[in-house]
Amino acid sequence: MQLASLAALAAAGVQVHVSGPAESTERPYMHARAAVIDGKSAYLGSITLSPDSIAFNREMGLILHESEVVGKLADQFESDFLFQTRSF
């Protein structure tokens, strides 16, 4: 189900980056759930892209509009993305 959600986001033009341990594309590992939208808003929480997370689990999330916090989250995304794509 998670792969279908990731594919739908990508098909809609959303840049999706999955990071974590060396998992496969069939079983991506996602611990942090966060998104930055246009550098002005952000989501940070525990809700995953699975229906169970939203419908059955006690997950939560915050939508943030404070520019300093959104900026720090965007910087962290950039740092994580560069780190994850680096060859060791």
On whether the CB atoms of residues 46 and 61 are closer than 8 A, the answer is yes
Output b/e per residue, 59-86; b: 16+ Cβ within 10 A: eeeeebeeeeebeebbeebeeeeeeeee
CA distance 40 to 18: 22
Task: Give the chain's residues under pLDDT 50.
Answer: 85-88
Query: What's the pLDDT at 16?
Result: 77
**What pLDDT score was predicted for residue 51?**
79
The domains located in the chain, with CATH, are: 2-85 (3.30.870.10)
